[in-house]
Amino acid sequence: MLGPQGAGKGTQAQRISRETGAKHIATGDLVRAEIKSGSELGEAVKDYNNRGELVPDEIIIEMTKPHLEKHDAWLLDGFPRNEAQARALDEALEELGLELDAAVVLEAPDKELVERLSGRRTSEATGKIYHVEHDPPPEGDGEDPGPFIQREDDREESIRRRLEIYHEHTKPLKDYYVEKDILVTVDATQAIPEVTKDVMAALERKDA
Ligand code: AP5
* Predicted confidence (pLDDT) per residue in 70-82, tens digit: 777 899 999 999 9
Report how far residue 18's alpha carbon sits from residue 50's, in angstroms, rounded to the nearest whole number. Answer: 29
| pTM, rounded to two decimals | 0.92
Q: Which domain holds residue 137?
A: 9-207
Dump pLDDT digits (tens) for 98-135: 889 999 999 999 989 999 999 999 999 999 999 999 99
Report if residue 132 sits inside a domain: yes
CA of 8 to the centre of ligand 1 (A): 7
- In angstroms, the Cα distances linking 170 to 3, 96, 146, 147 are 8, 24, 32, 32
Instruction: State what percent of residues in the chain have pLDDT above 90.
Output: 80
Residue nearest atom 43 of ligand 1, based on CA coordinates = 120
In a domain, 98, yes or no: yes
Give ligand 1 pocket residues (Cβ under 6 A). Answer: 3, 5-11, 27-28, 31, 48-49, 52-55, 60, 78-79, 81, 85, 116-117, 119-120, 129-131, 134-135, 153, 162, 188, 190-192, 195
CATH number at residue 174: 3.40.50.300
Q: How many residues does the chain have?
A: 208
Please give the tally of structural domains in the chain: 1
Catalytic residue among 23, 51, 65, 151: 151
pLDDT score of 70: 76
Backbone angles phi, psi at 97, to 5 degrees: 70, 30
The residue whose CA has the least distance to atom 25 of ligand 1 is: 52
For the stretch 28-69, pLDDT in tens is 999 999 999 999 999 999 999 999 999 999 999 999 988 988
Ligand 1 atom with the smallest distance to the CA of 190 is 53
Q: How far apart are the first and last CA of the chain?
A: 19
* ∠ Cα 156 153 65 (to 5°): 140
In a domain, 164, yes or no: yes
Please state, rounded to an integer, the average pLDDT across all residues of the chain.
92
CA dihedral sign, ordered 133, 53, 89, 4: positive
